[in-house]
Amino acid sequence: MEQYRHFIECCQKLIGAEYVYISDADKNPFLTDWSKRYTGNAIAVLRPKNTQEVAELVTLCCEENISIVPQGGNTSLCGGATPQSKGSSAVISMSRLNQIRELDLDNSTITLDAGVILSHAQDAALNAGKLFPLSLAAEGSCTIGGNLGTNAGGVQVLRYGNMRDLTLGVEVVTPTGSVFNGLRGLRKDNTGYSLKDIYIGSEGTLGIITAATLKLYPLPQSKVTSLVTIKDIDCAIKLIHQARERCNADLTAFELISTRAINLVPNKARNLRSKLDILSGWVVLLEFSSMDKEEQSQLQLETFLGEAFELELITDAVISTSIQQSKDLWSIRENIPEAQLKLGNIVKHDISLPISNIANFIEETEVKLNMLWPSMQTIIFGHVGDGNLHYNLAPISPELSEEIEEKRPLINELVHNQVYKYSGSFSAEHGIGQAKREELPLRKSSVEIELMRKIKKALDPKNIMNPGKIL
């Protein structure tokens, strides 16, 4: 570390020595991603308190040729916010940039720092009588900056769109330390290139997003949730078409979950089995939200489910009759990602497909995986309303974890080949990071890759922003 002494001393002067972590004990929590598959090293972990301090640190890094790894809540599943092992980068944590800057209720916007935890943004909107609709399992720890960096989706994309759709403006510190202030709360602004869209989804490789202006929505007056059993995936596809035709704007979420995934959350699943006749391998969790009164929304859901029964699209259903019951139903879905870890090593896939191709993809891919290695099982759940599946593979026994780890490259290749056979994408909402970097050029055209490289070179000529990620 002696070679970086001057750099560290400058950082300490800029933001205070207590916010420059250089000991292993202080740095370690920032050096491993949530999946535990990627661990790196860093010169220091820096925790600035505002945009100005971020800009000063980036300017220093640019002058000293120190690469930068921006980090939010460190919930990446692809190693996107993890430094490389050689330890020549500085991690800039956004955890102290955690202020709500402005709530503009007339304009239905919220402007906030990038380090604000997603659930805190939701609460700020709720306390003002508004809705910020982005919702995902990691919302208690992921941050707005990370959500922007990966263009996060979540369970309500079907109605409200992903993070790019929810964003009106961003503030960004560029790789040279200048500040682009694009915090405009405008729905219409045709004054040249849409610069905010360049940074959303860029995973910190083009600059550091320090703040954003986001859309707020009217708070629904009612919300009803139902868990239904279906005969097969074809019924799920027909069911979502039926839901869109009958309840279009009120359909908030439509989640396909395999029975195998539900059973990973044993207490909840046991309670459900007393209420549901789960004969097939699949259930659908759907939610309607409306500006109507609770009784009207309940009637709408019951009418819809009655029609679905008559059309033989569903075989059984349980409907929430209270806020707590709705939370209980959603907790099943939200607890699956962590519950599956007890199966051993998991090979995760965050994929998207045209809805019309989902059934064929799942059926054919299952057969091919069984031919590759019969000792694995699929754990499938996801936002099928927008074609996004979490298609995960686990060994049938934790003792086989080493074996599935050895087969990870073959499994990835098989699944991703199937995804592209059915006109899909191998990254829907988790990003590229380190996990999919080598494969990206194989899946995108040479023209797309070249355009991305030109943008990267133009905006970050020294290649100091989050090196080793995406490109």
The stretch 223-242 carries a mean pLDDT of: 92
Kindly state the percentage of the chain with pLDDT values over 90: 80
Give the model's pLDDT for residue 326: 85
User: pTM for the full model?
Assistant: 0.92
Q: Is the pLDDT of residue 152 over 80?
A: yes
Is the distance from CB of 118 to CB of 216 less than 8 angstroms?
no
> What token pair was written down for 177?
């330390």
More confident residue, 264 or 172: 172
Residue-averaged pLDDT of the chain: 93
Give the model's pLDDT for residue 338: 87
Give the model's pLDDT for residue 269: 64
Cα–Cα distance between 34 and 379 in angstroms, integer?
A: 19
Q: Measuring CA to CA, how many Å separate 71 from each of 80, 115, 263?
A: 9, 9, 34
Domains and CATH numbers, the chain: 2-93 (3.30.43.10), 100-218 (3.30.465.10), 224-336 (3.30.70.2190), 344-428 (3.30.70.2740)
DSSP string, 221-273: SEEEEEEEEESSHHHHHHHHHHHHHHHGGGEEEEEEEEHHHHTTSHHHHHHHH
Q: Is the pLDDT of residue 290 over 90?
A: no
Q: What is the pLDDT of residues 335-386, one digit of tens each?
A: 898 899 899 999 999 999 999 999 999 999 999 999 999 999 999 999 888 8
> What token pair was written down for 102?
């402005």
Beta bridge partners of 103: 110
Give the model's pLDDT for residue 277: 66
Q: How many other β-carbons are positioned within 10 Å of the β-carbon of residue 313?
A: 23
Give the model's pLDDT for residue 102: 98
Give the model's pLDDT for residue 2: 79
Decide: residue 38, CB within 10 A, 0-12 exposed, 13-18 middle, 19+ buried: buried
The band of 327, judged by pLDDT with boundaries at 50, 70 and 90, is confident
Give the model's pLDDT for residue 385: 83
- The DSSP H or E segment spanning 449 is helix 446-459
Specify the amino acid at residue 86. Answer: K
Q: Is the pLDDT of residue 221 over 80?
A: yes
Kindly state the percentage of the chain with pLDDT values over 70: 97
The stretch 187-191 carries a mean pLDDT of: 93
Q: Is the pLDDT of residue 419 over 90?
A: yes
The stretch 225-243 carries a mean pLDDT of: 93
The band of 223, judged by pLDDT with boundaries at 50, 70 and 90, is confident
Q: What is the pLDDT of residues 158-186, one digit of tens each?
A: 899 999 999 999 999 999 999 999 999 99
In 3D space, the residue among 118, 153, 122, 133 whose CA is nearest the CA of residue 223 turns out to be 133
The band of 274, judged by pLDDT with boundaries at 50, 70 and 90, is low
The band of 244, judged by pLDDT with boundaries at 50, 70 and 90, is confident
Give the model's pLDDT for residue 267: 74
The stretch 186-194 carries a mean pLDDT of: 94
The band of 30, judged by pLDDT with boundaries at 50, 70 and 90, is very high
- Virtual CA dihedral for 41, 410, 149, 80, nearest 10 degrees? 0
Q: What is the pLDDT of residues 444-466, one digit of tens each?
A: 999 999 999 999 999 999 999 99
Which residue carries 């279906």 as its tokens? 230
Edge-to-edge strands of the sheet including 222-230? 316-319, 222-230, 282-290, 251-258, 376-383, 388-395, 350-352
> What token pair was written down for 419?
């995804």
Q: Which residues contact 271 (CB under 8 A, 6 or more apart)?
A: none
Alpha-carbon torsion (184, 189, 190, 196), positive or negative: positive
- The DSSP H or E segment spanning 417 is helix 408-421
Q: Is the pLDDT of residue 302 over 80?
A: yes
Burial 174-198 (b: 16+ CB within 10 A, else e): bbbbebbebbebeeeeeeeeeebee
User: Would you give the DSSP letter of residue 219?
Assistant: P
Q: What is the pLDDT of residues 88-114, one digit of tens each?
A: 999 999 999 999 999 999 999 999 999
Is the distance from CB of 466 to CB of 205 less than 8 angstroms?
yes
Give the model's pLDDT for residue 83: 96
